[in-house]
Structure 1
Amino acid sequence: MPASQFPIVDGFYSVAPWSAEDTVNWLPVPAESAGARTQFKLRTPPGLKLFATIDSGPIRGWVNVNGTAYVVSNRSLYKMASDGTATKLGTVPGTGLVSMTYGLADTGYQVVVVNGTVGYLYDSGAKTFKRISDSAFPGGSVIDYINGYFIGIEPSKRYFFISTAGDAATYDSTDRFQAEGAPDRLVTLKVFNNEVWLFGQRTIEVWGATGDSTAKFARQNNTVLDVGCASANGVAKVDNGIFWLGDDGSIYRNNGYGQQRISNDGIEQAISGCAWSSAVAFSWSSKGHKVVYWSFPDGQTFGYDCWTQKWHRRQTFGLERWRIQNSLYWNGQWLVGDITSGNIYTLDWDTYSENGKPLISSRTSGVIQADGDYLTVDGVELYFDTGHAGSTVAQWLATESGDWLVTEDGDYLLVSGSDTAEATVQLSYSDDWGRNFTNIRYADLGAIGEYRKRVRFHRMGRTRGRIYRIQVSSPCQHDLLGGTINITR
């Protein structure tokens, strides 16, 4: 029987036992021409290349100040040079994430850091670091900058405040404002399109500068969104939009002054048991991808790509989540910060590991079925971008019975301990809707130059409904373009 298209490539949509689709450490990419081999492919994501190590970490926050990077690692603020070396500027107590922003001063820049209770100011012109001591400064849980004003939310989150114009060190106790649409507490704020988005527990308001010397800010167009925000660190900006984790467990982006749900049922079920208030959002963009990630310390890390509107996961070897919790575009590269150390990495397309640890890509397919009838699966062929594994590439395959394995084509495959190791793909399947999977079968992706290498699996028996899982753990490019399946009824 002729082979038919194997619908293996897609994003995350796991709603057991209805669907088990999962995409980990791969990026769904659509074909933008009718001449492509398949309509979608899964692109190998950028790995983590160590750029610098600053203090003992974690990386709590950072800001790009017109080409100069300021980083809070462990309990200190550092100025980072282009080669990754860092100069300590002062102490920022605490262990949690900080909020940072900057504004132009007479002789340089004012860099402000708030740690949830108090604020600190570094003046790049005067080269001074100090705690903000003005009696009218209430402390800060978050800080941003708009129209010459530093704007923040005070620690108990009852109101937001602004500095005097052009000076992060001085404040007026009358320049304090409360959200008007509902009596809920504020969660966080973001300056977006020269407006202030105030995220409350149950509602969101948009404020802007009035130009009035007395009432300097006011609500824009009586805007009140009837959805709240679940996490102070769960808001991000990318793709000319603002994204947040809602108080109802859905994830949203703005649609003008409204909200648009972008999460699906699978995402919402996956995060339903997590502590939403601990979620951290950050963004990254490259090669057309504009991705917002939400990472849950007690769960997983989910990414939404604005280009494809598909979801995927990032996962670090040995963890449920990704080891990254923030990002910064600086000096022509994307930097990301570690959750447990002072390591700063570049997201690098030519790196196929995470600082030397395996970057394992995994795809769990949709269901192959025929209205309850039995299907006989004679074979599966996967279309990979083959021929990228060098002869000295190390392999990371967990095996319980020695190093030697045999591929589907009958070749011996050495997965560790030799200079002749090859790139490998693992395949297993489930006939009970994703609850249990078979033993792993292996095939290789070809050494350098084997661009026509075929990745095939044979004789898979009968099923009423089947889900396939594909994993690649080899540190080389391993784009998955699709595949075919031979079945008879």
Structure 2
Amino acid sequence: VLSYTFGTPGEVGTLNYDGEDTRFEYNLCTLNATSLEFSPTGHRMYIGATSGGPGDVVFQWPLTPPESASSSIVNPPEITEMPAIVETPGGGGVPLKSPDCVSMSHNDAATPELVIVDGTNGWIYDTTNGLRQITDEDFFSADVVDFQDQYFVFNRAGTGQFFLSNLNAGSVYTATDIATAEGDPDRLVALISNRRELWLFGAETIEIWYNSGDSDFPFSRYEGGFLERGCAAAFSIAEDDNSIFWLAEDRIFYRADSSTLQRISQHGIEEALRKYKVISDACAFIYTMGGHKFYVCTFPAEDATWVYDITTGLWHERQSRGMGRWRVSVYADAFGKHLVGDFEDGRIGELDLDTYQEYGVTIQGVATGPVAHYDRKRVAHRRFELDVESGVGLTTGQGSDPQIWLDWSDTGGRT
């Protein structure tokens, strides 16, 4: 899926998902279009879709990366994030505490180090010493790690504190390199470094810090760097396009550019989120394909995936066939490929716009249009015309037998 666009001529529309009244909603639910437009002209409706969305093909492990990336931890999968294990290029792995997401960050040392935390333990990997546990007595349990100005930065799990590594040394820590986000006594859920600003996400508030160079502790809070907005899921936070995206404690998705917050979800999606029993496990990533940037957020417990097209400002729901969610759980732009981790069996796949299957299962797209009417009057339909591109199918192989199904409702979508 690349993007879905709804609108009337001359204006940008939005996806209204699962509204209270089905007569006044229209939506697109997964999977297979680069753009889809709805354009009512008089009493006629037009729904158009162009191009195909990316499928998944298996990317074999172990990899044989190009020489320029063979010793670099900057590009996974030198280390690959999987549901409950960290696997190295040499084979084998180390079981982690977390059954879901772990947090990783790397430095730019002469021999780069990759630090991994799972909420209980910390691990460090480099190509010289391999993968090993962090054992420094001044290292604390942490949910999230990031890197800024030669420091690895961590939240201290279950507290309002955050702490630092020594300069460019992911295995060495000092007892005094710790501070508290104390503008509000809420728990520090996560943190992220964005444009050399350190964003500290509490359960109910956010503080923005910067490297002041102070000899006692190098980071200080910006004057006025305090936002009364929290974070509902540590791993819903992702950054791109000079902004930060996340799910807040009020079950609304936000985008932040510097200290300016912008609500990016809309009421239909927020109604769906209101009904979720669990949102704290939400995991998100951002990828770019076909000129679009996508913020992808999956709710494992609710079996749902929501995708925000940063380029167009529009949303869609994404599912793998036979599932409620998209089976992709993690993403890496590595070796010139869009690599993804599969939550079903841990395999690594590659997103490909010319593949119309997910691991052999044909991708299916679903589009739902609005109620058809003429000046709010009921309309009798003598015929239905579907305008599609024809004569370009394949005679054999993938994509050789495209199918279209049509369902309609005489009750405004209720039955």
Give the secondary-structure state (helix, strand or coil) at the position aligned to 1:145: strand
- Corresponding residue for 2:359? 355
Aligned-residue offset at 1:365: 0.8
Which residues of 2 match residues 440-451 of structure 1 at below 5 A? none
Pick from 22, 25, 31 the counterpart of residue 28 of structure 2: 22
Change (3 A) 1:123 1:255: closer
Give the secondary-structure state (helix, strand or coil) at the position aligned to 1:278: coil
Structure 1: distance between partners of 2:47 and 2:245: 28
Change (3 A) 1:181 1:26: farther
CA deviations on 1:433-473 (whole Å, 9 max, x unpaired) are 2111xxxxxxxxxxxxxxxxxxxxxxxxxxxxxxxxxxxxx
Which residues of 2 match residues 295-314 of structure 1 at below 5 A? 295-297=298-300, 298-314=302-318
Structure 1: distance between partners of 2:26 and 2:342: 30
Aligned-residue offset at 1:90: 4.4
Structure 2 letter corresponding to 1:113: I
Q: Does 1:427 align with 2:406?
A: yes
Pick from 50, 53, 68 the counterpart of residue 58 of structure 2: 50
Aligned-residue offset at 1:87: 2.9
Which residues of 2 match residues 34-433 of structure 1 at below 5 A? 41-52=49-60, 65-67=73-75, 69=77, 70-73=79-82, 75-80=84-89, 87-88=91-92, 90-106=94-110, 108-124=111-127, 126-274=128-276, 275-297=278-300, 298-393=302-397, 422-433=401-412
Aligned-residue offset at 1:43: 4.1
Structure 2 letter corresponding to 1:369: H
- Corresponding residue for 1:446? none
How many residues align structurally? 385
Structure 1, unaligned stretches of length 5 or more?
1-5, 32-37, 55-63, 81-85, 396-420, 437-489
CA deviations on 1:60-85 (whole Å, 9 max, x unpaired) are xxxx72345211446543334xxxxx
Change (3 A) 1:98 1:375: same
- Corresponding residue for 2:40? none
Aligned-residue offset at 1:317: 0.9
Structure 2: distance between partners of 1:325 and 1:75: 12
CA deviations on 1:82-115 (whole Å, 9 max, x unpaired) are xxxx633645454221111111334x11111111
Task: Report % sequence identity.
Answer: 32
Change (3 A) 1:346 1:384: same
CA deviations on 1:323-376 (whole Å, 9 max, x unpaired) are 111111111111111112121111100100101012110100122223442312
CA deviations on 1:382-409 (whole Å, 9 max, x unpaired) are 33333343223478xxxxxxxxxxxxxx
Q: Is the 8 A contact 1:20 1:433 kept in 2?
A: no
Structure 1: distance between partners of 2:215 and 2:150: 13
Q: Is the 8 A contact 2:34 2:52 kept in 1?
A: no
Give the secondary-structure state (helix, strand or coil) at the position aligned to 1:249: coil
Structure 2: distance between partners of 1:357 and 1:387: 24
Structure 2: distance between partners of 1:386 and 1:311: 28
Structure 2, unaligned stretches of length 5 or more?
1-6, 38-45, 63-71
Structure 1: distance between partners of 2:232 and 2:210: 23
Q: Is the 8 A contact 1:159 1:179 kept in 2?
A: yes
Change (3 A) 1:291 1:78: same
Structure 2: distance between partners of 1:204 and 1:168: 26
Structure 1: distance between partners of 2:230 and 2:386: 44
Aligned-residue offset at 1:45: 1.2
Q: Is the 8 A contact 2:190 2:202 kept in 1?
A: yes
Structure 1: distance between partners of 2:267 and 2:346: 36
CA deviations on 1:151-201 (whole Å, 9 max, x unpaired) are 001222331100111111111111111112211111111111111111111
Aligned-residue offset at 1:41: 4.4
Aligned-residue offset at 1:7: 7.0
Q: Is the 8 A contact 1:24 1:312 kept in 2?
A: yes
Structure 1: distance between partners of 2:251 and 2:338: 29
Structure 2: distance between partners of 1:316 and 1:183: 41
Structure 1: distance between partners of 2:168 and 2:296: 33
TM-align CA RMSD: 2.6
Structure 1 letter corresponding to 2:273: I
Q: Is the 8 A contact 1:7 1:365 kept in 2?
A: no
Give the secondary-structure state (helix, strand or coil) at the position aligned to 2:280: helix
CA deviations on 1:213-255 (whole Å, 9 max, x unpaired) are 2121011232112211110111111222110001111101013
Give the secondary-structure state (helix, strand or coil) at the position aligned to 2:207: strand
Q: Is the 8 A contact 1:11 1:312 kept in 2?
A: no
Give the secondary-structure state (helix, strand or coil) at the position aligned to 1:233: helix
